[in-house]
Chains A and B, each alone.
Chain A
Amino acid sequence: MALALLFFLIRSLPGDPLAVLSEDRPLTSEQVRDLQRRYQLDQPLGAQFTAFMGGAVRGDFGTSIQYGRPVRQLVLERLPRTLLLGATVLLINFTLGLWLGVQQALHRGRPLDRILTTLSLTGYATPSFWLGLMLVLVFAVRLHWLPAAGSQDPGLDGAGVLTVVLDRLRHLILPALTLAAVSIASSMRYQRAAMLEALRQPYVAAARARGLTEGQVTWGHAWRSALPSVLTLFGLWLPILVVGAVFVEQVFAWQGLGSLTAGAAAARDYPLLMGTAVLATAAVVTGSLVSDVLHALLDPRARAE
Chain B
Amino acid sequence: MTPRRAALHTVWRRPAGRAGLIALALLALLALIGPLVLPDPTAQGDLLNGALLPPGSGHLLGTDQLSRDVLSRIVTGLRLSLIIGLASACLAVALGAAVGLIAGSRAGMVDTVLMRIVDALLAIPRLFVLLLVLAVWDRVPIPALVLLLALTGWYGTSRLVRAETVRLRGEDFVRAAEALGAGRLRIALHHLLPNVAAPILVAGTLGVGDVILLEAGLTYLGLGIRPPTPSLGGMVLDSRSVFVTAPWTSIFPGLVIVLTVLSVNLVGDALRDALDPRSA
Contacts and interface: CB of A to CB of B under 8 A. Distances in A.
A1 B115 CA distance: 13
A127 B128 contact: no
B123 A273 contact: no
B240 interface: yes
Nearest to B223: A265
A129 B258 contact: no
Given A137-B243, A284-B123, A274 B136 contact: no
Contacts of A10: 132-133, 136
A49 interface: no
Nearest to B250: A133
Given A5-B121, A10-B133, A130-B250, A277 B138 contact: no
A133 B240 contact: yes
A247 B220 contact: yes
What class of interface size applies to chain B in its complex with A?
35 or more
A9 interface: yes
A281 B262 contact: no
User: Which of A130, A270, A273 has the most chain B CB atoms inside 10 A of its CB?
Assistant: A130
Contacts of A288: 123
B194 interface: no
A6 B132 CA distance: 9
A220 interface: no
Interface string B123-134: 111111101111
Contacts of B126: 243
A243 B132 contact: no
B258 A122 contact: yes
User: Which of B125, B243, B251 has the most chain A CB atoms inside 10 A of its CB?
Assistant: B125
Given A133-B250, A268-B135, A281 B220 contact: no
What class of interface size applies to chain A in its complex with B?
35 or more
B244 A141 contact: yes
B236 A239 contact: no
A261 B137 contact: no
Contact of B124 (A6, A250, A273): A6
Contacts of B251: 134
User: Which of B120, B126, B223 has the most chain A CB atoms inside 10 A of its CB?
Assistant: B120
A17 B133 CA distance: 11
A284 B124 CA distance: 8
B204 interface: no
Interface in A267-288: 268-270, 273-274, 276-277, 280-281, 284-285, 288
Contact of B125 (A124, A128, A280): A280
Contacts of B239: 133
Interface stretch (B64-72, B181-189, B209-217): B209-217
B132 A273 contact: yes
A127 B216 contact: yes
Given A246-B131, A265-B135, 6 more contacts: A10-B132, A121-B266, A133-B250, A134-B251, A134-B254, A137-B243
23 contacts: A2-B121, A5-B117, A10-B132, A15-B136, A117-B16, A122-B262, A125-B265, A126-B257, A126-B261, A129-B236, A130-B257, A133-B236, A133-B250, A134-B251, A141-B244, A243-B125, A265-B221, A265-B223, A270-B135, A274-B132, A276-B128, A277-B131, A280-B128
Interface of B: 16, 116-117, 120-121, 123-129, 131-138, 209, 213, 216-217, 220-223, 233, 236, 239-240, 243-244, 247, 250-251, 253-254, 257-258, 261-262, 265-266, 269, 279
